[in-house]
Amino acid sequence: MTYTIEEISTRLYAAVISDALDSLGYRNQSPNVHFPITTMPEKIVGRCKTTLWADIFHEDPAPYELELQAVDSCMPGDVLIAAAGGSQRSGIWGELLSTAARNRGCVGAIVDGQIRDLAKMRDLGFPVRARGTNIYDSKNRQMVINVDVPVEIGTVVVSPGDLVFCDEDGIVVVPQEIEQEVIRRAMEKVNAENISRDEIKMGAKAGDVYKKYGVL
pLDDT of residue 204: 58
Q: How far is CA 208 from CA 16, 19, 191, in A?
A: 21, 21, 17
Task: Cite the annotated binding site for substrate by residue number.
Answer: 94-97, 116
Render pLDDT for 90-126 as a digit per residue (tens, 0 to 9). 999 999 999 999 999 999 999 999 999 999 999 999 9
Question: What DSSP state is assigned to residue 203?
Answer: T
Phi, psi of 123 (to 5 degrees): -60, -35
Render pLDDT for 59-74 as a digit per residue (tens, 0 to 9). 999 999 999 999 999 9
Task: Cite the annotated binding site for Mg(2+) by residue number.
Answer: 117
Please say if the pLDDT value at position 210 is more than 80: no
User: pLDDT band at residue 212, thresholds of 50, 70 and 90?
Assistant: low
Question: What DSSP state is assigned to residue 39?
Answer: S
User: Within 13 A of 10's CA, how many CA atoms are on the CB side?
Assistant: 5
Rg (CA), the chain: 19
pLDDT of residue 198: 61
The residue length of the chain stands at 216
Q: Parallel, antiparallel, or unpaired: how do β-strands 44-55 and 163-167 relate?
A: antiparallel
Residue 56: which of 87, 26, 25, 16 has the closest Cα?
A: 87
How many Å apart are CA 122 and CA 3, to the nearest integer? 30
Please say if the pLDDT value at position 131 is more than 90: yes
Find the range with the poorest average confidence among 158-162, 163-167, 201-205. Answer: 201-205
Please say if the pLDDT value at position 163 is more than 80: yes
- Amino acid letter, residue 153: I
Please say if the pLDDT value at position 209 is more than 60: no
Task: Cite the annotated binding site by residue number.
Answer: 94-97, 116-117
Residue 204 makes CB contacts below 8 A (sequence gap 6+) with none
pLDDT of residue 202: 66
Please say if the pLDDT value at position 136 is more than 90: yes
Neighbour tally for 170: CB within 10 Å: 17
pLDDT of residue 214: 63
pLDDT of residue 81: 98
User: pLDDT band at residue 3, thresholds of 50, 70 and 90?
Assistant: confident
How many Å apart are CA 80 and CA 141, to the nearest integer? 20
How many Å apart are CA 42 and CA 162, to the nearest integer? 20
